[in-house]
Amino acid sequence: MKRGRAGRRGRPRALWNQAVTGRRFRTRGPSRRDLQDTPGGQLAFAAAAAVVGALTGLTAGTFRLLLEHVGQARIDLVRWAHGSPVLGFALVILCCAAATSAAAWLVHRVEPHAEGSGIPRVEAVVEGRTPPGRFRILPVKYVGGVLSIGSGLALGREGPSVQMGGTIAVIVGSVLRRNRSDVRLLVAAGAAAGLATAFNAPIAGGVFVLEELVKRFDPRTTLATLLASAAGFASAHLLLHPSAAADFRVPALADPTLAQAPLVIVVGVTSGLLGVAYNAAVMKGLRVADTSRWPVVARAALIGSLVGALGWIAPGVVGGGDNLTQQALLGQGTIAAVTGLLVLRFVLGVLSYAACTPGGLFAPMLVLGSHLGLLVGLVGHLVAPHQTPEPAALALIAMAAFFTASVRAPVTGIVLATEMTASTTLLAPMLGACALAMLTANAFRSTPIYDQLTQRAVSAFRVNTVEASSVGARGARGGGVVDSSSHPAASSGPRA
């Protein structure tokens, strides 16, 4: 009799997990071996983390290569279309609108949890606040990310790469029959591998997951994260450029001096203020999108059309923005041009994220931070040229400081900026600017962007689960059978 009662108690949980993930997922607790953490058990767990990292590196590596080709194809299309201004302009807008609307349709109708960055969703899974998602997140995130970012939306490749890594971890954990605790750690490890591949920054990938996602440095978590990050970085380099030392080039920078401290303080404080404004604008844009009466696909098509029109005029200012960050890190630009580009990319980033298609926030943050620092440097050279560092130096410092203000992960910001530029000259002023940016954001009581997005994702999951349950109950009362995991009511409401 006890076995029968236990079976009845366990069945709803199994069915619930099956409804959420789309297939059966092992829900047993840690075994005795897991609790004892024997050498054999730890070795098997480490091997699983390495497999997750390697598969994530290959997936994110092809994703990055495909984005590069699609982005170049978009630029080539614009150049060709200028030969016929009227028809060419219409063709470019039509292509961008079609791509963004297709990405939005995939998210809204096929897999809602593939929306947005994906990092908040991974964070919620790692914290145990939501169960692992369905395996189809992987193809929807991949294809939707290529469509949305390739169309010119100001979104980054790192968000999709992180969520794809987390989904690969769920698949591997299910195949290897790992317990729920291990699967959550493998999801964090896959996220690290995804970020490492997206930005050619294996240390930053591991540090971000430990500092932001799991918020702890226990041995088991650290082992999985670092192993997966290293394996992902290594496997991705089978496809990417193995000779590239860093994603961005910076000129030879002079050693910092104490006389330059006032400008570093200005960069830190202004980065904090801009980070507060950016977080508020992104969340405001999402609230407007959530309450809009426009259909999701139509709204995405409109945003894609606006981006296409902008891309027709200036192809280089749309997209992820790596080219813009590179220009800023070389100190190129005038005060007027940099100011205009800073304002334009701020608005474009908020608008692009409100399209609710797959795409991340990291890359747009790097554009804003680097241009803010460049602007401070250009103005400083007019006001106090002898006390102002090179504009390129301030661009690098502000890149880390703005990331810190928005995400509230200073170690990740410093490591990421250092790895992406292979420059260690400015570590001291970078540390001070990040501290000031974080202090400024805290003074305004600005919640970190991923904390806000994670709470939004968790709330949406609960709303969708309740709606799906009510739909299932109505179907049962009507004598029919309703699949709550695929019913439209289960995919309505805000998600992140």
* pLDDT at position 221 over 90: no
Q: What is the residue-averaged pLDDT of the chain?
A: 85
DSSP string, 316-352: GGSSS-HHHHHHHHTT---HHHHHHHHHHHHHHHHHH
* pLDDT at position 479 over 80: no
pLDDT at 143: 96
CA-nearest of 203, 181, 230, 235 to 28 is: 181
- Read off the pLDDT of each residue in 366-394 and give the average, rounded to a whole number: 94
Place 10 in a pLDDT band, splitting at 50, 70 and 90: very low
- How far is residue 29's CA from residue 27's CA, in Å, rounded to a whole number? 6
CB 153 within 8 A of CB 317: no
CB 178 within 8 A of CB 25: no
258-450 matches 42-236 in CATH topology: yes
pLDDT at 129: 87
Class of domain 258-450: mainly alpha
Q: Which of 41-45, 118-122, 281-285, 381-385 is least confident? A: 41-45
pLDDT at 25: 41
- pLDDT digit string, tens, across residues 289-308: 989 889 999 999 999 999 99
- How far is residue 272's CA from residue 479's CA, in Å, rounded to a whole number? 57
Evaluate whether the domain defined by 42-236 bears CATH number 1.10.3080.10: yes
Backbone angles phi, psi at 24, to 5 degrees: -70, 135
The two tokens of residue 152 are 């010119």
Helices (H), 106-212: 119-126, 137-150, 158-175, 180-199, 202-208
pLDDT at 240: 76
Report how far apart, in Å, the C-alpha atoms of 463 and of each of 118, 121, 161, 485 are. 18, 15, 26, 13
Place 475 in a pLDDT band, splitting at 50, 70 and 90: low
Residues in the chain: 496
Other Cβ atoms less than 10 A from the Cβ of 56: the count is 36
pLDDT at 37: 55
pLDDT at 27: 38
* pLDDT at position 126 over 50: yes
pTM confidence score = 0.85
- How far is residue 172's CA from residue 372's CA, in Å, rounded to a whole number? 42
CB 300 within 8 A of CB 104: yes
* pLDDT at position 386 over 80: yes
- pLDDT digit string, tens, across residues 229-250: 999 999 988 887 654 567 899 9
pLDDT at 22: 42
- Read off the pLDDT of each residue in 356-381 and give the average, rounded to a whole number: 95
Element spanning 90, H or E: helix 85-105
Specify the residue for token string 């399209």. 355
pLDDT at 128: 86
Specify the residue for token string 């292509």. 95
Residue 40, CA atoms < 13 Å, CB-side half-sphere: 2
Place 287 in a pLDDT band, splitting at 50, 70 and 90: very high
pLDDT at 216: 80
Q: Which of 161-175, 227-241, 368-382 is least confident? A: 227-241
- How far is residue 380's CA from residue 396's CA, in Å, rounded to a whole number? 15
CA-nearest of 109, 95, 119 to 452 is: 119
Phi-psi region of 152 (alpha: psi -120 to 50; beta: other; left: phi over 0): left
- Read off the pLDDT of each residue in 31-54 and give the average, rounded to a whole number: 73
CB neighbour burial string for 12-22, b if at least 16 within 10 angstroms, e if fewer: eeeeebebbbb
CB 357 within 8 A of CB 148: yes
pLDDT at 494: 45
Place 30 in a pLDDT band, splitting at 50, 70 and 90: very low
CB 399 within 8 A of CB 385: no
Distant-in-sequence, close-in-space partners of 178: CB < 8 Å, separation ≥ 6: 26, 45, 48, 186
What is the residue type of 391?
Answer: P
The two tokens of residue 417 are 């900026």
* pLDDT at position 3 over 70: no
* pLDDT at position 8 over 60: no
- How far is residue 126's CA from residue 173's CA, in Å, rounded to a whole number? 13
- Read off the pLDDT of each residue in 324-353 and give the average, rounded to a whole number: 95
pLDDT at 29: 41
- How far is residue 112's CA from residue 126's CA, in Å, rounded to a whole number? 19
- Read off the pLDDT of each residue in 19-24 and give the average, rounded to a whole number: 41
Place 456 in a pLDDT band, splitting at 50, 70 and 90: confident
The two tokens of residue 483 are 């699949």
* pLDDT at position 484 over 50: no
Report how far apart, in Å, the C-alpha atoms of 143 and of each of 6, 107, 136, 317, 471 are. 42, 10, 11, 23, 30
- How far is residue 473's CA from residue 484's CA, in Å, rounded to a whole number? 10
In percent, the amount of the chain with pLDDT more than 70 equals: 84
* Rg for the chain, CA atoms, rounded: 23
Domain ranges of the chain: 42-236, 258-450
- pLDDT digit string, tens, across residues 419-430: 999 999 999 999
- Read off the pLDDT of each residue in 45-68 and give the average, rounded to a whole number: 94
3-state class percentages of the chain: helix first, strand second, coil last, to nearest 5: 75, 0, 25
pLDDT at 483: 39
pLDDT at 480: 43
pLDDT at 387: 87
pLDDT at 217: 80
Place 26 in a pLDDT band, splitting at 50, 70 and 90: very low
